[in-house]
Amino acid sequence: MANSSVQAIPNLILTTAKQGVKTTCPYCGVGCGVQVRNENEKMSLVGDAKHPANFGKLCIKGKNLLDTIDNSNRMPMPIVNNEEATWDNALDYVADGFKQCIEKYGPDSVAFYVSGQLLTEDYYVANKLMKGFIGSANIDTNSRLCMSSAVAAHKRAFGEDVVPMSYSDITKSDLIVICGSNLAWCHPIIYKRIREEKAKRANLKVVVIDPRYTASCEIADLHLAIAAGGDLVLFNGLLNYLANQGLIEAELLNSNDQGLTRALELAAIDSEKLSAIGLSQHSILKFFELFAESEKVVTLFSQGINQAEQGVDQGNAIINCHIASAKIGKQGSGPFSITGQPNAMGGREVGALCNTLAGHIEFNDSHLYPALEGFWHTKNIARKPGLKAVELFDAMDNGTIKAIWIMATNPALSMPDINKVTSALAKCPLVVVSDCVANNDTLAFANVKLPAHSWGEKSGTVTNSERRISRQRGFLTPFGHAKADWWIISQVAMRMGFKDAFNYQHESEIFAEHSALSGLANNGSRAFDISAFKKITQQQYSDFTPIQWPQCDSHSKVINDQLLFADKQFYTPSKKAQLIAVQSNKFNSNTSDIDRAVFTLNTGRLRDHWHTQTRTAKSALLSNHYPEPLVEINPQDAQALAITDQSLVSLKSRLGEVVVRASISSLQKMGNVFMPIHWTSLQSAQGGVCQIIEPIVDPISGQPAFKHSQVSMSAFASGSEALLLVRERLTQQFGFYQVEQKVEQGYCYHIASNKPPRMLLEHLQIFIKTLLDNTEPSVWAEDDKGCYYRYCYYQNGGVEAGIFVGEKKVELPQGWISHFFQQDNNNLAKRQVLTANVEAMSQQKIFCQCLKISYDQVTQALKTTANIDKIRELTGAGNGCGSCIGDISLLLAVNNHASNLYYDAAISRVELKAAALAG
């Protein structure tokens, strides 16, 4: 077991339970089970071997969860107007504020903005309060930003938001298409399952459709480096191909389905654009043939499809191909939307998207209103959809929304056009934020701050991407006076006058009610039915084991691998699946889709960080993978703009500017740049990508198009760069650019300044002298030209601070810096810090975190072989959690310059292999 998975935790409440607590990872939608144990007053964490999502495996983020548990940046008490308050006072203040607003301006003047980090029980009471008792549908979740397009596509095709797939389908499939997802980094355990399956079955083919060469391409037989926004044309082209080959399901053809006719017409029109989406004819044909010839196909899709101007249409184009070729309703076959957040699916179940009423009951199910009123004992049910996320903040900006409650999310950073969002928050008379942190970009605007439970303290349920409901269980004493979200919401609801409906004593009561509601007047009319749990007791809830929905009251339980739509019965009025006619509005011959003066900005996630780093920034190990916000640029684009690797770059849109580090990579497509989403003003004032993203949304789902913004780019000059290492977090700013990185036993600040190196050094020296009570540097080195400096400060036999200054970032020792405070206190070690060459120091950066294999070891192995498994054998890298296997493939791709072939000629890996054989 890696050291990082064993921690001494001060507020551990488990004392002797050897078997520990089974809970779920709080990061991605894979929903892995973890087991936390108390072993000799040290907490350990391992994957839950019995959890069907992961069977004991964890990725690097899950494996290092304990690293991220501490009580820094927590709020012990509620805060009202900047003063600590009792819970009674704070809850009264919130309830009175919302009541007054509703009385004066009506129910639509208030709103809740909630989160996929909430548990289903929290979500349920928030939705019940807003839609059932306040009488407005102004509740939307941040899941709107990641998968609401898939939700809308499901509803259009299936009549209900149903993901029909299970992870086990991967093991039964002939072809897996990974589309708009860097699965290897964003959903690593699903990726690992595919990788293992592919190693077992040589005939399992994998196609990756992504503008970039990502870590996921390592297992691809065919990588289609498609032009941004080309997916709709590609899948319409596939539908047209299936029709031309006579491969449309006979039953569908014979039914004279009008949806099919129209969908085929538009698919034929879009097929004319196939030559414009950046792929060779041969690659496209290869993909079409693979799809057509494979009996069982799983198409995994995620944010790359959903976060687009036509995200819903893109989802339906994928689903159309599966319906038309009868590749759905069979084990190993179907469209599989992978959710981003741990409980995005739970939010969808309760109705926390503003356009669903509750429990998969829609607003147009008006015949169910009386039943729902009876169930909730209310007469005040919302009758129309509320405002979607972007609309909601627009309404706040124009004064329509006068009170908002934001729960467990940070919209001041994560929404598009954050300048507008922050302006709206500043104008809103009542901003309530409940969260497990004390400071973030959004909390800065809150009149009322409510301390909520964090992961490890929370108790409830979550639903993962394969519809599997699992328990999250608490194993820590809640910090200070923090409370469960469901408790906070219920207390406010009772103070607003709804005592009987919200008088819950335990989260299991909420789960039972939610389960009962799912069965309300259902009788098979809605797939989401978990009424089997409507009488669940507290003990049964405590013992709850992971299970997929549906779980109807009347059926016996099927725990795993439930096959939906096998009977070809869907939830549309006709009970048939609907083909939706969709057409791309891009790549039209009479318009120019490519303006060479601007770049298409693609956004996404890195391997070791999660969303806004609330948790992962606390881990030195996770922070060291990518310590700074960056932009990935193709070498030819960089050369044309005189941008060098690791220099600073300005990206601008109409809305603003960000300054980030250049990462020049031949794996990036020309004309496109990529930026990760993770940096907030807490770590970097300059790196928040949402500052430059236009609030363009899909017209149906309202999901922002985070994937295809247009930006300009230029080199950004600095006078000097520095690394400042200190034991404690700083609030001071030393340059126009500054990024905080957690390192082992301290912090590293990456600084860029307009000053020349000598002046920046002096500035930092003065600061350190003050910080360390006039301590002088113990060892230092300078170059002859006065441009490069290394200073180390020792106190009481240990290193306490370090300053490294140069003209350029590439001159500074990076990667190695993560272990600065762990260096030996002997003369040899001190001399090495001063004399070692930067390249050698950087090569000491850890590549494989589990087994502590350095970059140097891996790059040495790369010189001897290009075989990933051989490199693993030689070095051990990738033999722990496996998260770095994709990184080996990225190093290989760059080393071999193979990536240029992928992009320049759109030659697929299959083609390359074929060419090699022919040669």
Report the alpha-carbon distance of residue 67 to residue 455 in Å, rounded: 13
Contact flag: residue 232 with ligand SF4 (CB under 6 A): no
Site for ligand SF4 in 293-322 (CB under 6 A): none
Q: 3-class secondary structure for 611-650?
A: CCCCCHHHCHHHHCCCCCCEEEECHHHHHHCCCCCCCEEE
Query: What's the closest the beta carbon of residue 677 comes to ligand SF4, in angstroms?
Result: 15
The smaller minimum CB distance to ligand SF4, of residues 45 and 692, is found at 45
The smaller minimum CB distance to ligand SF4, of residues 187 and 708, is found at 187
Site for ligand SF4 in 530-549 (CB under 6 A): none
34 sits in which H/E element: strand 33-39
SS3 463: strand
The smaller minimum CB distance to ligand SF4, of residues 455 and 816, is found at 455
Interaction pattern, residues 56-95, with ligand SF4; x per rule: CB under 6 A: --xx-xx---------------------------------
Contact flag: residue 455 with ligand SF4 (CB under 6 A): no
Q: With 0-12 CB in 10 A as exposed, 13-18 as middle and 19+ as buried, what is 806?
A: buried
The smaller minimum CB distance to ligand SF4, of residues 25 and 85, is found at 25
- 825: which 2 tokens? 């206190």
Contacts of 152 by beta carbon, 8 Å cutoff, 6+ apart: 312, 315, 698, 700, 701
Site for ligand SF4 in 742-801 (CB under 6 A): none
- 379: which 2 tokens? 């007469």
Interaction pattern, residues 130-169, with ligand SF4; x per rule: CB under 6 A: ----------------------------------------
Query: What's the closest the beta carbon of residue 27 comes to ligand SF4, in angstroms?
Result: 3
Question: Is 190 within 8 Å of 171 (Cβ atoms)?
Answer: no
Report the alpha-carbon distance of residue 148 to residue 153 in Å, rounded: 9
Query: What's the closest the beta carbon of residue 895 comes to ligand SF4, in angstroms?
Result: 28
The smaller minimum CB distance to ligand SF4, of residues 422 and 883, is found at 883
**For the chain, how long is the longest CA-to-CA vector?**
87
Question: Is 677 within 8 Å of 683 (Cβ atoms)?
Answer: no
Measured in Å, how far apart are the chain's first and last C-alpha atoms? Answer: 46
Question: Is 197 within 8 Å of 204 (Cβ atoms)?
Answer: yes
The smaller minimum CB distance to ligand SF4, of residues 46 and 396, is found at 46
Count how many Cα atoms sit within 13 Å of the Cα of residue 541 in the half-sphere of its side chain.
Answer: 22
The smaller minimum CB distance to ligand SF4, of residues 455 and 565, is found at 455
The smaller minimum CB distance to ligand SF4, of residues 27 and 565, is found at 27
Contacts of 197 by beta carbon, 8 Å cutoff, 6+ apart: 170, 171, 204
Which residue has the closest beta carbon to ligand SF4?
Answer: 62
Report the alpha-carbon distance of residue 637 to residue 657 in Å, rounded: 19
How far from 736 is each of 415, 444, 685, 714, 752, CA to CA, in Å? 24, 22, 9, 17, 6
- Amino acid type, 190: I
The smaller minimum CB distance to ligand SF4, of residues 340 and 704, is found at 340
- 810: which 2 tokens? 């590439």
Query: What's the closest the beta carbon of residue 182 comes to ligand SF4, in angstroms?
Result: 13
Kindly give the residue spans of alpha helices, DSSP state H, lying in 738-780: 757-771
Contacts of 640 by beta carbon, 8 Å cutoff, 6+ apart: none
Question: Is 443 within 8 Å of 411 (Cβ atoms)?
Answer: no
Report the alpha-carbon distance of residue 546 to residue 541 in Å, rounded: 11
Query: What's the closest the beta carbon of residue 61 comes to ligand SF4, in angstroms?
Result: 4
Query: What's the closest the beta carbon of residue 614 comes to ligand SF4, in angstroms?
Result: 14
Report the alpha-carbon distance of residue 392 to residue 622 in Å, rounded: 34
Interaction pattern, residues 44-63, with ligand SF4; x per rule: CB under 6 A: ----------x---xx-xx-
- Tell me whether strands 630-633 and 175-179 are parallel, antiparallel or unpaired: unpaired
Query: What's the closest the beta carbon of residue 188 comes to ligand SF4, in angstroms?
Result: 5
- Tell me whether strands 720-726 and 297-301 are parallel, antiparallel or unpaired: unpaired
The smaller minimum CB distance to ligand SF4, of residues 348 and 360, is found at 348
> Site for ligand SF4 (CB under 6 A): how many residues?
14
Interaction pattern, residues 633-672, with ligand SF4; x per rule: CB under 6 A: ----------------------------------------
Interaction pattern, residues 841-870, with ligand SF4; x per rule: CB under 6 A: ------------------------------
Query: What's the closest the beta carbon of residue 299 comes to ligand SF4, in angstroms?
Result: 20
The smaller minimum CB distance to ligand SF4, of residues 327 and 678, is found at 678
Angle between helices 231-244 and 258-271 (to 10 degrees): 110
Interaction pattern, residues 14-33, with ligand SF4; x per rule: CB under 6 A: -----------x-xx-xxx-
Query: What's the closest the beta carbon of residue 302 comes to ligand SF4, in angstroms?
Result: 13
Q: From its phi and psi, is residue 82 left (phi > 0), alpha (psi between -120 and 50) or beta?
A: left
Name the one range near ligand SF4 by CB under 6 A: 155-163, 181-189, 452-460, 587-595.
Answer: 181-189
Query: What's the closest the beta carbon of residue 709 comes to ligand SF4, in angstroms?
Result: 26
- 136: which 2 tokens? 């407005």
How far from 861 is each of 848, 854, 857, 884, 885, CA to CA, in Å? 14, 11, 6, 15, 14
- 415: which 2 tokens? 């929404």
Query: What's the closest the beta carbon of residue 557 comes to ligand SF4, in angstroms?
Result: 24
Query: What's the closest the beta carbon of residue 531 comes to ligand SF4, in angstroms?
Result: 28
The smaller minimum CB distance to ligand SF4, of residues 28 and 111, is found at 28
Query: What's the closest the beta carbon of residue 64 comes to ligand SF4, in angstroms?
Result: 10
The smaller minimum CB distance to ligand SF4, of residues 187 and 755, is found at 187
- 118: which 2 tokens? 């909430």
The smaller minimum CB distance to ligand SF4, of residues 79 and 345, is found at 345
Site for ligand SF4 in 184-203 (CB under 6 A): 187-189
Chain residues that interact with ligand SF4, rule: CB under 6 A: 25, 27-28, 30-32, 54, 58-59, 61-62, 187-189
